[in-house]
Amino acid sequence: MTQYRSERDSMGEVRVPSDAYYGAQTQRAVENFPISGWRLPPSMISAMGLVKYACGVANRDLGKLTLGGKSPLDDPLVDAMLAAASEVADGKLADQFPIDVFQTGSGTSSNMNVNEVISNRATEMAGGDRMSESKLVHPNDHVNMGQSTNDTFPTAIHVATAIQIEESLLPALRRMQETMAEKAKQWDKVIKIGRTHLMDATPLRLGQEFGGFARQLELSIDRAELARDSVLELPVGGTAVGSGINTHPEFGGRVAKILSEKTGIAFAEAVNHFEANAQRDGLVQSHGELKCVAQTLFNVANNIRWLGSGPRCGFYEVKLPSRQPGSSIMPGKVNPVMCESMMQLTARVIGNDTAITLAGAAGGNFQLNIMMPMMAHTILESIHLLEKGVHAFVDFCLEGMEANEERCEAAVEQSLSMCTSLNPLIGYEQSAKLAKEAFSTGKTIRELCREKKILPEQTLAEALDPWRMTEPQE
C-alpha cells in the first residue's frame, strides 16, 4: 500500500505520497485536475529547472540568497539548491511532475511543483530530512525568490521553445533540405512533363521540380529561425504584474544572460515587462511560423505522393520505398505511408495553430495570460511532431526514393502543351487549333506539324526540343 506523509501549505495539511519529492500544492493540483492525463512535456520541465537554476545564480550573485553559509558565494544550501535545479534541468526527476496540462491558467501549479521538488531534493542533498515540515531550502522563500509564476512560467515556455527549435527542429529541416537538394542534382537530366491544375503542361526536368522542393525547405529553415527568434525576449524580472515587485532591478537581465550562456541562444530581458507578462504574442508569432513550415511539409509530401502514384495506372514518375503491405484485402498493394504520416502530423500542427492563436487573443486579460500551460504543451508538441516526422520522412522515403526515368520521359511527347513553344513561330490561335486537333485525333503535336508542313523540319525540331523547353531562350 502507498505510504503517505503530511505536507502543509497556506490552506492546511495535505497527504502526499511519502516517496514523492513534490509537496502539498502539487498534490492539490493532481486532485483538482484529473482531466487529460497529459503532463507538461519533458522539454518544458527541463526548461523550468534551467530557469530556476539561472534565478538561483542571479540571486546568489546579487547577494540576495544566503541560507546556510557566511556569504551567498560560500553557502552549501545554495549549492544544494542549484544542484537540485540542475537535476530537474537534466531530466533526472522526470517522474515527479504529475500535474495535468489543463490546470490553473498561469501555470502556478506546475511552478510550485518544480519549486517543491527542488526544495525537497536540495534539503535531502544538504543532509536534511525531506519528510520534515521544516525545509532547509524553502520552495517559496528560496527557490522562488524574486519570481512569480507570472514571469517565470512564460520564460520557461520561451526557453523550451527556442531550445527545441534550435537543437531539434532546425537540424531536421537542414537534413531534409540537403537530401532534397541532392536528389535535385542527381535528377537534373531527367525530362518529364509539367502539370498545372493537375493537367498536362510544358516539360521540365525532374531535378528542377525537386529543386523547387529544396527551396521550399530552405525557406522553411528561415521560418523556423524566425520562430526561434520570436521568443528570445524573456518576461523574467516582471514578477506578478510586470512591475518587478520583490526583485532586484538587475535580476531579469542577469537571468537572461545566464540562460544565454547555458544554452548558446541569444535570450534577452524583455523590453517592456508589462507587455511580456501580459501577452504571449511572441509565442503566437512563433507558432505561426511553425504552421507555415507544416503546410510546406504537407505540400511537399502530398506532391511526392502524387508523383509516386501507380505503379501502373498513376503517374509513377518517382519510385517510393516499399515500407509495408498496403491492404488487408488487396495482395501486393503498397501505399505511400510516409507521405501519409507526414500529411497527418502536419495537419495536427496546423490545427494546433488555432489553439495557440485563440489562447493568445482571448487568454491575455490585463496583466496575465491564463492559457499558458496549454500553449506550452501545444507549441512543444508541434515542434516534436515536425522534428520526428521530418527525420522519419528522410529515413524511410527521401533517401531511398528513385527516379522512374522511362516513365517520366514517355509522357513528354504526348503532352498537348508542347505546342506552347510554337507560339512565337505560328501564333497562339494556330497553336491552340493544333492542340485541339491533336487531342481529337490522338496524334502528337510533332506529328500534326509534319503532316501539315507547318514549319521546316529543323525549325520544328528545335522548337519541340523538350530540353530547350525547360529553360528560357533568347
Long-range contact set of residues 90-93: C-beta below 8 Å, sequence gap at least 24: 90/46, 90/49, 91/42, 91/45, 91/46, 93/21, 93/117, 93/121
- Which residue type is seen at 96? Q
- CA–CA distance, 63 with 71 (Å, rounded to integer): 8
- 157 in Cβ contact with 375 (< 8 Å): yes
- CA–CA distance, 192 with 319 (Å, rounded to integer): 14
Residues 6+ apart with CB under 8 A from 170: 221, 224, 225, 228
Residues 6+ apart with CB under 8 A from 376: 40, 41, 44, 101, 107, 153, 156, 157, 160
Q: Coil, strand or helix: which one is 195?
A: strand
Please list the active-site residues: 197, 327
- Which residue type is seen at 455? L
- CA–CA distance, 449 with 18 (Å, rounded to integer): 89
- 57 in Cβ contact with 258 (< 8 Å): yes
- CA–CA distance, 50 with 90 (Å, rounded to integer): 9
The helix (H) or strand (E) run that includes residue 320 is none
Radius of gyration of the chain (CA): 30
- CA–CA distance, 315 with 404 (Å, rounded to integer): 10
Residues 6+ apart with CB under 8 A from 134: none
- Which residue type is seen at 17? P
In the chain, % helix, strand, coil (3-state, to 5) comes to 60, 10, 30
DSSP labels, 230-269: TT-EE-TT-TTTSS-TTS-TTHHHHHHHHHHHHHSS--EE
